[in-house]
Amino acid sequence: MLRDLGIAVAREGIPWAFVDKNRQYDFSSIDPMIKAMNESQIIPIWDLCHYGYPDDLDPFSEEFTIRFADYCRAAAEYVVARVRGPHFFTPINEITFFSFIGGEWGWTAPYKNTKDDRFQLRLALCKAAIAGVKAIREIEPAARMIHIDPLVQVVDPRDRPDLLEAAEHETLVDTFLAWDIISGKEHPELGGSPEILDIVGANNYSFGQMKYREQGPHAALNPEDDRIKPLCDLMKRVWERYRRPMIIGGTSGLGSGRAAWLKDVMEESLAAVNEGMDLHGICLFPGVDMPDWHTGEWLHNGICDLEDCDGRLRRIPSENYVNELRRWQKELNRVTALDKDPFSDPVELYDVIEAAKRLQTKPDKNWS
């Protein structure tokens, strides 16, 4: 499917909890993905920890860092030998969000529920991620890292101006702390550096602009709220803070809004390129539809929906979404299907820069 769409890179996860049984590694569960990647000539960006870890580990312990580094080293040994490079890794996905759902909201392991637990979990995850990068580069010194976290804008409720300081702290400090630690700006004793941060992956969710709530997840702003910031402005905060290459690490609209969402994201991204940001790509999430975490209902946010056909799920491409993708591929002088050897004609970012100059898209607050 990705070959036919002209997409040659995909994010893929390795389930740490399943492959690591007390440092006895069994990576056979990813062999089908590796086989498909090699046959389709798709470059993976490997997620090594996507909210899960082995049952016998305490993420607040020193053992967690040691075990994670050992696992990263083993994972790199396994995939580098089997998949054509260049090689890309995300050691721990969405550390900031992970620390919320596991440290304060109790949605996932370690099922904690205080702000202090969140702060401590984030610190532990950053420490492990830094150790993981170093372990991977022992195996593949040229490996590139993409550290993923969401773009966030939090405002105070109109009837609670006393929460303004807390909302601004979350927007301008909390959102960046994991990246700050990995880059060495904060807690330099953990060994972070710009080279370890490497590529910044900023996820762009429809609910990423929110109204502050003192307990639990914040409330998503209505798309017409006049306090919404253009996506380009949110990316600019990241760029000015780190001056590192960037991608949008995951983004999607819902249902019939998918094509319009892609149009908005592309226009904002080209505006960012025009402003001098080193933006290298946009990841459409997910490739195939997924169920809502809380309700189990299909979200209809993928490139393909899933349709029940005599008891079997069949992939049905979203026609409007695919057409919008095709339109932008042509605007950027990109292929709409991969040729026999997609690596023989590398992407020229010059084409993207020229398209940004030609189209002159402007940031706006369209967040619908």
User: Where is pLDDT greater, at 79 or 368?
Assistant: 79
Whether residue 367 has pLDDT greater than 80: no
Measured CA to CA, the distance from residue 104 to residue 127 in angstroms comes to 19
Measured CA to CA, the distance from residue 1 to residue 6 in angstroms comes to 9
236 neighbors 272 (Cβ within 8 angstroms): yes
pLDDT at residue number 331: 94
Measured CA to CA, the distance from residue 100 to residue 115 in angstroms comes to 8
- Per residue in 209-223, pLDDT (tens digit) is 999 999 989 999 998
Whether residue 318 has pLDDT greater than 90: yes
Whether residue 81 has pLDDT greater than 70: yes
Measured CA to CA, the distance from residue 191 to residue 130 in angstroms comes to 7
Measured CA to CA, the distance from residue 149 to residue 237 in angstroms comes to 14
Average pLDDT, the chain: 95
Measured CA to CA, the distance from residue 147 to residue 304 in angstroms comes to 26
Query: Rounded mean pLDDT of 227-245?
Result: 97
Within 10 angstroms of residue 55's Cβ, the number of other Cβ atoms is 8
Q: How far is CA 27 from CA 128, 147, 269, in A?
A: 21, 23, 37
pLDDT at residue number 366: 79
Whether residue 346 has pLDDT greater than 90: no
Whether residue 363 has pLDDT greater than 70: yes
- Half-sphere exposure of residue 210: CA atoms within 13 angstroms, side-chain side: 24
At residue 146 the predicted structure's pLDDT band, cuts being 50, 70 and 90, is: very high
58 neighbors 117 (Cβ within 8 angstroms): no
User: What burial letters (b/e) apply to 184-196, b meaning 16+ CB within 10 Å?
Assistant: bbbbeebebeeeb
Measured CA to CA, the distance from residue 210 to residue 157 in angstroms comes to 9
Whether residue 22 has pLDDT greater than 90: no
At residue 348 the predicted structure's pLDDT band, cuts being 50, 70 and 90, is: confident
Whether residue 308 has pLDDT greater than 80: yes
Whether residue 344 has pLDDT greater than 90: no
pLDDT at residue number 345: 76
- Where do the domains of the chain lie, and which CATH numbers do they carry? 9-359 (3.20.20.80)
131 neighbors 137 (Cβ within 8 angstroms): no
286 neighbors 252 (Cβ within 8 angstroms): yes
Query: Rounded mean pLDDT of 341-349?
Result: 82
Residue 197, classed as helix, strand or coil, is helix
The DSSP line for 204-235 is: B-TT-EEE--SSSSPEEPPTT-TTPPPHHHHH
Percent of the chain scored above 70 by pLDDT?
99
Measured CA to CA, the distance from residue 300 to residue 177 in angstroms comes to 32
- Per residue in 273-295, pLDDT (tens digit) is 999 999 999 999 999 999 998 89
Whether residue 299 has pLDDT greater than 90: yes
Whether residue 368 has pLDDT greater than 70: no
